[in-house]
Chains A and B, each alone.
Chain A
Amino acid sequence: MRGISKRYPGVNALCGVDLALARGEVLALMGENGAGKSTLMKVLGGAVRPDAGEIWIDGQRQAMASPLAARAAGVAVIYQEFNLVPALSARENIFLGLEQTSAGFVRSSEERRKAEALLARTGVAVPLDVPCRRLTVAQQQAVEIAKALAVDARIIVMDEPTATLTPQEVQKLFAVIADLTRQGIAVIYVSHRLDEIEAIADRVQVLRDGRAVASRAAAELPRRELIELMVGRSLEEEFPKRTRAVGRPRLVVRGLSRGEKVRDVSFEVRAGEIVALAGLVGAGRTETVRLIFGADQPEEGVVELDGQPLTIRSPRDAIRAGICLLTEDRKHQGLVLSQSVLHNFALPNATHFARAGWAAGGWIDRRRERRAFAGYAEALRIRSNAADQPAGTLSGGNQQKVVLAKWLESNSEVLIFDEPTRGIDVGAKVEIYGLMNDLAAKGKAIVMVSSELPEVLGMADRILVMHDGRITGEIDDPAAATQADILSLAIR
């Protein structure tokens, strides 16, 4: 891959990334969340077309215009959330799109024979006629690998393949990978687990901010240095300074649990405090804050605000109680993209703009609504003509500011920011940081979920690190801590 670039509105996901892969090699692709790993993989898999750059495989330039073309070129991508049709059997999934037919009829017996042979190479026993949704994760993964083998893939890309596997299954997978490389297949392996990288990678390529920053033999790259390469910059100046004045406890969470994702989480946030929830993707941070906000129901646990236990059965209850959540996924959870910015802004604030004398949820005072929004638009520097545009037409940074504006208007006491600066350019980031500081200065309790370690270190008064649904560590003095400290708590 040469000079691959991809721009999304608001961000440069990839800027001129080069990547080379030798036959039978295992290349670990490393980088922080948002460094551009998934975009790079999608380009390779034909799911995303790059703005610039070219891809050569075995001396031939490949167009990679579609997933089908990528498959034909010998590239198979196994995404974290597999690409299997849940209702179809393993056999049908393996041959989806390349059914073995004669005269239009599927030759089941031949498919079955081939499928058995392919699955045997993965070393996992998979029943052939059971709908895939009933298979275990490891079995589904085996089906994905068999799918890749069925098209004679020369390059197999695996995205976080071990994220949901048991240790035994991981060992089995490593054996399969070793076997594949012996057959001359090259593997690109994406993972956050440094132990695994050391165990199987021949070479490590590090991405940061959409650029390839290093490519080294795995053996020559100590863990410490790898983390530094991933994190890279020192960004202290990005974070506006503020005086810290922490008061009484406001939000208290005790014994919050739900399934495997959130196990017995307890913490408190005091007035004027910014508490960061750090950890890897899938550690349970988002799940935890969703429970506090009532987006999901906890199986156990108590949430208290200012000493009062809260009964929260829905986000509506939480908002009434004074808790708001800025979701990590603006497009699907934060905004109604087809509706105007103004309507989005007013959505949680119906009672603010209802005309006096009308029953709750009645007549909207549109002038008051517009005036209120204009105030935020100016303070947050949202484009002035944005109010009547569909929210979907705004850039990521502006969308995030609209989400901010709507929650600021709701005048919540507890503000939960889930990945507040994801996909936002640096300028807008600093504005949002400043705003968080202002809110803290007003005595609000702020919870920030973030995967960007510099942001966590720069903004938080206290850092809670989660791993596997539990809080595994607490850092009371972020100023004295390093990113490696957080990572070591998060990776285990």
Chain B
Amino acid sequence: MTGKGGVGKSLVSAALAVRSAQRGDRTLWVEMSESPRGGYLFEDFRPQYDLVPVRDQLWAMNLRLQPAIEEYLSVAFKVPFVTRLIARNTLFQILTGALPGLDSLIPLGKIWYELGRRRGRQPYWDRIVLDAPATGHALAMLRFPQAALDMVKSGNVADRSHEIDQILGDESLTSLIAVSTLEELPVDETAELIESVHQETSYRFAAVVCNSVFPEIGQDEQTRFDAWLEGRDDAAIDGRFGAERDIVRKRLQWLESRRQEQQRWLAQLGSVKVPLARAPWIPMAREADVLHALVEEFARP
């Protein structure tokens, strides 16, 4: 899962992972962040590089770049001082400049390892939910395996790129999901990302999750609701709110106007030709509460 920073990518991916675990699947939720959200989303949980249990059937790890690189190099080279020299230095930044996307290949390699783990005759994980880097980085990450295969014909990077290319390209195994809010910048960025990925790679996005979608309060009584918002009297509504009537009207006018704006951006997002899913706006402040409510929403039939 990817998305522009600030749209709730971590929240939505965590909600999907929790839901998957609730259904009984052994689930791994992977963050890739220097400032992980997991500690806010789950109580009594501290994100770390090593695998930790979060709750029944759910495990988590924060795949930070630095330890992932060190781990990868130590496996690849078996020479500790070279490993440290490459990993602990700005050198790696230079290498990723020379080979854009290398910094995401290595964490992806770690996921590839987790995918291959077995538990007896069973796969170790039924599902892995990856809270991947934000949109800008995601494009470099998705471009990388094929670009690397064009540039490097043999060696470690080529082998790993080939494996990851297979996984990303297999739609029965992997779903690419973008998360967006229904606002100008996120919608533009999401549409651009999907267009670029579809043009430049053989991978396909499976869905866009629209996050923080405002509620449709009017539903089958939209005309009546609109009329009241515009100032018309309505005995039942006015009776219900009494002295609060004007405050409620002002509040809901704002919400309705925002909702309609969201609907226009939703229509725009429709042009990406990828199935759209919705995650509602949750009127709570604490992230753990928001996650809990969102999981309940996802659990509805």
- The answer to whether A binds B is no
Which of B's residues lie within 8 Å of A, judged by CB?
A: none
